[in-house]
Structure 1
Amino acid sequence: MHQKRGYSSKHTAGNKKIDCILHALEEGDNQITVISPLLLKKNTFRFFSADRYSIGHRSEVIYPATVDAKFISLFLTLFTTFFQLVRWNRAHKGESRAVIFYNYRLETALPAMLFKMLYRVPLIVEYEDGIYAVTETNKYYKKLTVMVEKFANKLLDGAVLVTSVLKKRIRTDNYTVVRGGTVHPAKLKPVQEVNLGTADRAFRMVYSGRLDYDRGIEILLEALPHVNTERMIQLDITGYGPLEEKVKQFIASQSNARINITFHGFLDDNDYAALMEQADLFVNTQREKILFSECSFPSKVVEYIKYGKLVLTSGVSDINLINQNMFVTYGNDSAQELAAAINEILRHPAQYSLYPARAMQWLISDCSHKVVAGKLDKVLNRAISGGTKEKVVYSESTSMK
């Protein structure tokens, strides 16, 4: 199954948040079928038959049949995804069940909506990274998804939102907010005070994530000339995206001997974990002054907290709402403000020694599997009228993170 349809079969759609939701649903004693129209499109005209494999404790993933051909893939996937929904419904007829679809990609939203209209099974959206706000998305596809979203709003029985800002885009009052992902507290290392080191060694900063406009890697690059370099700076960048060449060019042209920048590209799990463990500071530069910020919570912040290190982030999404001396923040998508925040950390490192411990406390209280399972159960119980929740189908998209 490795590299099935262009992706590792271990990632249902390249989205860790989806897997987190699945495990939280299982924590609430639900059985989940994930219908994933997954395909890394290369226009090879190759046909892929339907596949399935086990995931989680007692759930499964189904890949509907499709063909790797532009436009044809979309229309065939719409049909085969709906067909798999019908098969699932037949297998669990008479049991309490609901359909959760991820975002408003046509491949998942349209089959889920049609299924709701024909079979009257409760419909819930798991809403994040709205297509309407993604800079790289084709403008005609954006318009289509906005139309689909408006129509779907009339059909929704519940919603799982990645940020409280999205409340304004849904009509249902049956919703919960799940930010960034979920965690098992038992797998987290205890965090007390952290030591950010002294001038006798380099201060290690890490940027991890997609290299694009929305995630703001350019803001970090523009900030570096304004960073105080009395202490050596080691910046590690890992990820991929449309701005990868720009990052490489910046590294090649920057001449400050006190700042060393290493671009790692895409790292495997072991190398990635080793890099993260060495960091003093994680930097999240996702832009807050763009439309994308209202439909996306930076999952990287949740990931960073798990390592028990200091986090410096923009005020994107719900960050300022939840921040209680947990993160260092900067505003206005400003490179100067970002540099000023880094300089303040370098001048007074002891002032921030307890921030990671507070962030870890928030993570456990808001994002543990048990807490998220409780949030999801409330939405499911209300959506499924008078039923005992036994079966949940999770219709997921091909969107990357």
Structure 2
Amino acid sequence: MKDNEGQGNGYILYVGGYLDEAVVDERKLPTRNPAGSNRMSRIGSAFCAAGKETIILSPAISMRTGFSPKLIFPQRVTRTNRVSVIFSRAFSVPVLGALSSFIFVPLLLLNICSRRNIEALVIYNFSPLLLLVALIGRYVLKLPVLHNVEDVSEPRVSDWKSNSDARPLQQLVFYFCMSWINRVASGAICPTSRFTPYLRDGIPVEVVTGCIDAQLDAGEFESSSARKGVCILFAGKIENEHGIDIFVGALKILAQGGLLGGDVRIDICGGGKHSEWAESAAEELVGLGVHFHGFVSDSTYRQLLNRANICVALQQPQGRYGSFKTPSKVYEYLGNGKTVIATDVGDLADLPGDVIHICRTPDAQVLADVLKSYIQAPDLVDKQCIAARGFSLKHFSLEKVGARLVGFMNLYARS
């Protein structure tokens, strides 16, 4: 990047935990963060599509970073779709690496802002480091701040029970960070209207559900007859919270009814605490076209997605996660022209019935009945695939979303 390049045109500086495969391998990070990275790439690309060049600044470090012979991981510059990405320097030592980000990231922030005309600072989610960045941006650099809230943290007394899956101390820290970034921000960007009650009173909110790249999400449509059958994909966290138990239960019911095998293929990919259980269950059905791939690379995931014509997203709608998380991958599925079966989370139930099937009772038998109806009527699969793609292009394109985001920024971030 050249000094003072773009001084006549404002940039969006988007700060958060974006990761790619290369930096994960280099820094031995414990997670790829595919959902968050994908979302940042798409939101950043939407700003670009609306004429606002966007730079992602990522710490790319973790308390659990692996040891490396390097003393310091160097700063690295790359791209994702239309967006420039800068990975900050960090010490290559567990714990110390994460602590060093409180020095390296603010220094990089100040450096970028001294060389670019930054119009707004967008903070992706929340953490102590991101709170520091928001405070520097708002009170030192005098930048307008937008808070992109993709999850919600709310501490509860039940978090401290021994059988709770929540991390109580983390919930407290993240709630504090989320609340204070909200106070600093001029506005919030959320994936669902269900988040608004947990944000600062009176903060303006722009709800961005889907955000698709018409070229990236352009898998060629093939009818079920051309594919010679139906291919069903379960991708994401292999955890009961995300419905893997319900999905495997439905597959067993379909197998008992003689509906698996032949022209029906099942692909399961992802990682999580129930991976071993899911892999063992899949092995029992491998002769019936059920394949467990584990955690896969971006390119392999893309191949699996292109092959599928039905995708399921079965996040539990009950409890805290029904309100505090939303599966953005559903909109990716729709943009790729897939028949989608999902639970009633986020704003998915607001979509037209011919675009998505909402499974309001997350139960193995109910899901099996829905899958059976599609397996036995491939023309229905084709019809819903076409409707999903058309609706997504009309409502969730980068250009449409980008125009809304820039309008929101102009209205609130500069007021």
What's the TM-score, normalizing by structure 2?
0.79
Aligned partner of 2:248 in structure 1 is 221
Letter in 1 for 2:249: E
Deviation at 1:70?
4.3
- Residues 176 and 379, structure 1, Cα contact 8 Å, conserved in 2: yes
1:245 partnered with 2:276: yes
Question: SS in structure 1 opposite 2:315?
Answer: coil
Aligned partner of 1:72 in structure 2 is 96
Aligned partner of 1:333 in structure 2 is 362
Deviation per residue, 1:141-181 (Å, 9 max, x gap): 11111112222222210111111211222234432222243
- Residues 189 and 207, structure 2, Cα contact 8 Å, conserved in 1: yes
Distance 1:363 1:155 in 2: 33
Distance 1:336 1:298 in 2: 22
What RMSD over aligned residues (CA atoms) do the two structures have, in Å? 3.3
Aligned partner of 2:235 in structure 1 is 208
Aligned partner of 1:391 in structure 2 is none
Deviation at 1:25?
1.2
Question: Are the structure 2 counterparts of residues 219 and 56 from structure 1 closer, same or farther at C-alpha, using a change threshold of 3 Å?
Answer: closer
Distance 1:186 1:226 in 2: 35
Pick from 343, 361, 365 the counterpart of residue 394 of structure 2. 365
Question: Are the structure 2 counterparts of residues 21 and 28 from structure 1 closer, same or farther at C-alpha, using a change threshold of 3 Å?
Answer: same
1:20 partnered with 2:42: yes
Aligned partner of 2:139 in structure 1 is 117
Distance 1:118 1:253 in 2: 60
Question: Are the structure 2 counterparts of residues 381 and 202 from structure 1 closer, same or farther at C-alpha, using a change threshold of 3 Å?
Answer: closer
Question: SS in structure 1 opposite 2:408?
Answer: helix
Question: 1:254-269 counterparts in 2 under 5 A?
Answer: 259-269=288-298
Distance 1:28 1:341 in 2: 39
Aligned partner of 2:342 in structure 1 is 313
The count of corresponding residues between Structure 1 and Structure 2 is: 378
1:52 partnered with 2:76: yes
1:236 partnered with 2:267: yes
Letter in 2 for 1:238: C
Deviation at 1:187?
6.3
Aligned partner of 1:394 in structure 2 is none
Question: 1:2-401 counterparts in 2 under 5 A?
Answer: 3-6=25-28, 15-39=37-61, 41-44=64-67, 47-55=71-79, 60-92=84-116, 95=117, 97-132=119-154, 138-171=167-200, 172-184=202-214, 188=218, 194-195=223-224, 203-227=230-254, 228-230=257-259, 232=261, 233-253=264-284, 259-385=288-414
Question: SS in structure 2 opposite 1:15?
Answer: helix
Question: Are the structure 2 counterparts of residues 39 and 96 from structure 1 closer, same or farther at C-alpha, using a change threshold of 3 Å?
Answer: closer
Distance 1:61 1:253 in 2: 43
* Higher RCO, Cα 8 Å, sep 6+: 1
Distance 1:310 1:206 in 2: 10
What's the TM-score, normalizing by structure 1?
0.82
- Residues 185 and 368, structure 1, Cα contact 8 Å, conserved in 2: no
Letter in 1 for 2:178: E
Distance 1:99 1:62 in 2: 15
* Unaligned runs of at least 5 residues, structure 1: 387-401
- Residues 102 and 109, structure 1, Cα contact 8 Å, conserved in 2: no
Deviation at 1:37?
0.6
Deviation at 1:119?
3.4
Deviation at 1:185?
5.5
- Residues 103 and 128, structure 1, Cα contact 8 Å, conserved in 2: yes
Question: Are the structure 2 counterparts of residues 137 and 186 from structure 1 closer, same or farther at C-alpha, using a change threshold of 3 Å?
Answer: closer
Distance 1:244 1:140 in 2: 26
Deviation per residue, 1:322-351 (Å, 9 max, x gap): 233112221233222212211232344444
Letter in 2 for 1:77: S
Tell me which moved more, 78-87 or 246-255: 246-255
Question: SS in structure 2 opposite 1:331?
Answer: coil
Question: SS in structure 1 opposite 2:184?
Answer: coil
Question: SS in structure 2 opposite 1:297?
Answer: coil
Deviation at 1:220?
0.4
Question: SS in structure 2 opposite 1:214?
Answer: helix
Letter in 2 for 1:181: C
Question: SS in structure 2 opposite 1:30?
Answer: coil
Deviation at 1:269?
4.7
- Residues 13 and 38, structure 1, Cα contact 8 Å, conserved in 2: no
